Structure 1
């Protein structure tokens, strides 16, 4: 049908990169027992009559691997920040020291670590499925264009190689995340 068929491999790569970016975002949301300033991003404080992110009412620091500190700028908001953290569902018990709120990050137990590795595996499988769906879409584009046999095989092998490469990246990211979670 068409002798000048060109598969948009850039579009396929962009979509597979999107699946990888989504996987990294999901992995970042898994708590590994290490302190991170980003773990407080969803917590909102009732400050000055509106819901305000913690990083807009104080300075968030990570002085130690298992400690987050918040230096609240306005003394009148210290209690509200502490209350917001307690009610956030993070499972962290804030400790007050003047205008500084210290958040010791508890150690994860073995059972919780195993559960988190299973969740990481589910996230990785979702990324693999998304990548395979992009592959299927690429293969469908090739079939619809109906290029000559040798050209069709060349495009199909290119799409398959790209898919295999991205699946390897997902597997490597999963291995790294599981090792991070299981690290005591």
Structure 2
């Protein structure tokens, strides 16, 4: 079995058991868990020492998975995803079939369709969205590389992926909020 498949299988086992993984994403290193498992999501908030009113980002493998977890995806979202030159997270109204503690107080959820091979493959095999939040304790800077991830994060996850990110100079994604009423707000460019 090749290294890539070994890493995918190890992650799947941890995700299925409600554990936390530390993994390279299409942006920065992320802490991940099953986005439909409320207890797993709670562990992420605890590890990051983060108030659970601060929403987390969720990754899906493709448009079809996105459509299963959002009440109505605005047409504009597809244009933004097609035209974006960097990973872009979109905040949608009325998410569904995800952990309740993942949904923001205003009934929205930030979702990004993963663009890197590892994340797409992992999420496709898992068949559910996974949480993706930067691998840092709240109020500390996001690590720019694996070497900047704190000991508390490394010790606090159940599995650390042993692969290099596709894009080693990654930066956090852009974040755009799309309201079902047609409003568009850039949260992070």
TM-score by length of 1: 0.22
**Of Structure 1 and Structure 2, which has the larger fraction of its residues in helix?**
1
Higher strand share: 2
Q: Highest CA radius of gyration, 1 or 2?
A: 1
Query: Quick one: higher RCO (CA 8 Å, sep 6+), 1 or 2?
Result: 2
